[in-house]
With several copies, the nearest count.
Chain A
Amino acid sequence: MAIARLDDISLTIGSVPILRRVELELSEGERLGIAGPNGVGKTTLLMVLASLLPPTGGQGSVLGAALGTPDVLAIRPSIGLSGHDPALYDQLTLAENLDHVARLAGVASGAVDVVLDQVGLAEAADRKAAACSEGMRRRTDLARLLLIRPRLVLLDEAHAGLDADARIIVDEIGRRAVADGGAVVTVTHDADALRSQADRVVTMTGGMVRS
């Protein structure tokens, strides 16, 4: 079964066309890389794949649910997204942030300590998110994906701000999703990361996807 299929998808915000006639297929166990210049629509495409932005034209389905229909509500918990900005609450500590996610996702709360240790932040667990460095915040955002183990992982510049050691976190997230029969989509400007993280790379130009 295909994890995701976009067929002639287009997206217009206001009256500005952002995505045009996007065709894309993502199969189980696939690690897809998306490259393309700044402002071409990569982040927007990930939001469509996450079912968070309904397309304004064309047909698409993700994990069996048709995009733009209420069916997507059921499959959303199987999607994990890490975007340009880490989704952290500044006043809460790193552990509290992940604990909130664990409770809402119904994950055993012991897992929080484990993933924090895995990403190398065990000793910073009780630091407020606002008092953490950019890279620490990004590691915590990735720890969230380790916590909920989504089938479809969408990574938007997940390597930015990570030090050389921490890049294996991204590899590990991808490895797990693939092992669970899911898929990973990696958007990045980092050629090395694209090589190591993707089996297939597509390039976007002018709001369209080229293989």
Chain B
Amino acid sequence: MTKIQVMLGLAAVALAGGLVLALNAPIDALQGEFSRIMHLHVPASWLAFLAFGVTAVASIMWRIRRTRAWDRRAAASAEIGVLFTALSLATGSLWGGAVWGTYWDWADPRIATTALMFFVYLGYLALRSASPDAESAAARSSILGIIAVVQVPLVYFSVNMFRSLHQGQSIRPDGATMPGGMLVAMLVNVGVFTLVYFALLAARTDVMRQEEAARALEPAAGEAVRPPRFDEVPDV
């Protein structure tokens, strides 16, 4: 087994453990069973932030070092970030439907800003795939990867800046606002998701590296062109 397979295996086991913990953690008196969504929603949201942060850092590193490895990290992290953002939006929306009575509310700035952030990173991925080659993809997307990350604090603090349905951060310097068992379960799940994130990141960058390595073994581009030959190649 490779290191990456071990990591993926561990992540899967941890995910199962986190799920068991979430199903046995205390629940919110008002929300009932629905409050368990938190153990999915909150870690997914946080890891999305981390992923986009890593994309930004890797983009900066690419601009300094210009090595393929940093570009692969930036791209892979953005892909995983989009995945987690989608999860956050989906779970958040389900949760909202259950406890606020609405799946979507424009009055909530965090929902609006998260949705925008989601599409911007979809655009980041589209920009990469629209680029003619990896070099050009890296050069363009590194700029976007650095700029787009300003959305992360915007999304995070949006709950504080405007009135909203979303409650403020639960973990604050002045102490937590939820029952201890619940908080522990949630924090454990954040840890689990962090493991999942790094496992996915390692796996994805490795796949990208292998794809590129396969191409680098090809002969120089020009060697694919040969003199024309009509005698050797019979007509159909």
Q: Which residues of A contact B (CB under 8 A)?
A: 12-20, 36-41, 56, 108, 110-111, 114, 117-124, 127, 130-131, 133, 135-136, 139, 165-166, 168-169, 172, 204-207
Nearest Cβ distance between residue B66 and chain A, in whole angstroms?
8
Contact with A along B184-218 (1 / 0, CB 8 A): 00000000000000000000000000001101101
Q: Which of B215, B220, B233 contacts A118 (CB 8 A)?
A: B233
Q: Which of A14, A119, A120 contacts B135 (CB 8 A)?
A: A14
Contact (Cβ within 8 A) A118 B230: yes
Neighbouring B residues of A127 by C-beta, 8 Å: 224
Which residue of the partner chain B has the closest CB to A176? Answer: B235
Contact (Cβ within 8 A) B222 A41: yes
Contact (Cβ within 8 A) A14 B229: no
Give Cα A119–Cα B228 distance, bound, in whole angstroms: 4
Given contact pairs A14-B133, A110-B236, A114-B233, A120 touches B225 in the complex (Cβ within 8 A): yes
Which residue of the partner chain A has the closest CB to B227? Answer: A165
Interface: B226 (CB within 8 A): yes
Contact (Cβ within 8 A) A172 B221: no
Contact (Cβ within 8 A) B225 A40: yes
Nearest Cβ distance between residue B103 and chain A, in whole angstroms?
38
Interface: B107 (CB within 8 A): no
Contact (Cβ within 8 A) B220 A120: no
Give Cα A1–Cα B225 distance, bound, in whole angstroms: 37
Which residue of the partner chain B has the closest CB to A13? Answer: B133
Q: Which of A121, A135, A168 contacts B230 (CB 8 A)?
A: A168
Contact (Cβ within 8 A) B134 A124: no
Interface: B219 (CB within 8 A): yes
Assign chain B's interface to a size class. 20 to 34
Q: Which of A37, A118, A169 contacts B225 (CB 8 A)?
A: A37
Q: A14-B136, A37-B227 given. 18 additional CB < 8 A pairs? A: A12-B216, A14-B132, A14-B137, A14-B212, A15-B216, A18-B221, A18-B222, A39-B221, A41-B221, A108-B236, A117-B229, A120-B228, A123-B224, A123-B225, A130-B132, A166-B227, A169-B228, A206-B219
Q: Which residues of B contact A (CB under 8 A)?
A: 68, 132-137, 212-213, 215-216, 218-230, 233-236
Give Cα A41–Cα B233 distance, bound, in whole angstroms: 26
Which residue of the partner chain B has the closest CB to A135? Answer: B225
Nearest Cβ distance between residue B129 and chain A, in whole angstroms?
12
Contact (Cβ within 8 A) A131 B133: yes
Give Cα A206–Cα B137 distance, bound, in whole angstroms: 26
Neighbouring A residues of B137 by C-beta, 8 Å: 14
Q: Which of A14, A39, A111, A114 contacts B222 (CB 8 A)?
A: A39
Neighbouring A residues of B134 by C-beta, 8 Å: 13-15
Which residue of the partner chain A has the closest CB to B137? Answer: A14
Q: Which of A114, A169, A172 contacts B236 (CB 8 A)?
A: A114
Given contact pairs A37-B222, A118-B229, A14 touches B215 in the complex (Cβ within 8 A): yes
Give Cα A166–Cα B228 distance, bound, in whole angstroms: 6
Q: Which of B132, B212, B223, B229 contacts A15 (CB 8 A)?
A: B212
Give Cα A58–Cα B227 distance, bound, in whole angstroms: 30
Contact (Cβ within 8 A) B221 A122: no
Nearest Cβ distance between residue A149 and chain B, in whole angstroms?
9
Neighbouring A residues of B235 by C-beta, 8 Å: 114
Give Cα A36–Cα B222 distance, bound, in whole angstroms: 10
Give Cα A18–Cα B231 distance, bound, in whole angstroms: 30
Give Cα A9–Cα B9 distance, bound, in whole angstroms: 43
Give Cα A19–Cα B222 distance, bound, in whole angstroms: 9
Give Cα A193–Cα B135 distance, bound, in whole angstroms: 35
Nearest Cβ distance between residue B140 and chain A, in whole angstroms?
13
6 closest A-B pairs by beta carbon, nearest first, are A14-B133, A207-B220, A40-B222, A165-B227, A123-B224, A14-B134
Neighbouring A residues of B229 by C-beta, 8 Å: 117-118, 120
Which residue of the partner chain B has the closest CB to A123? Answer: B224
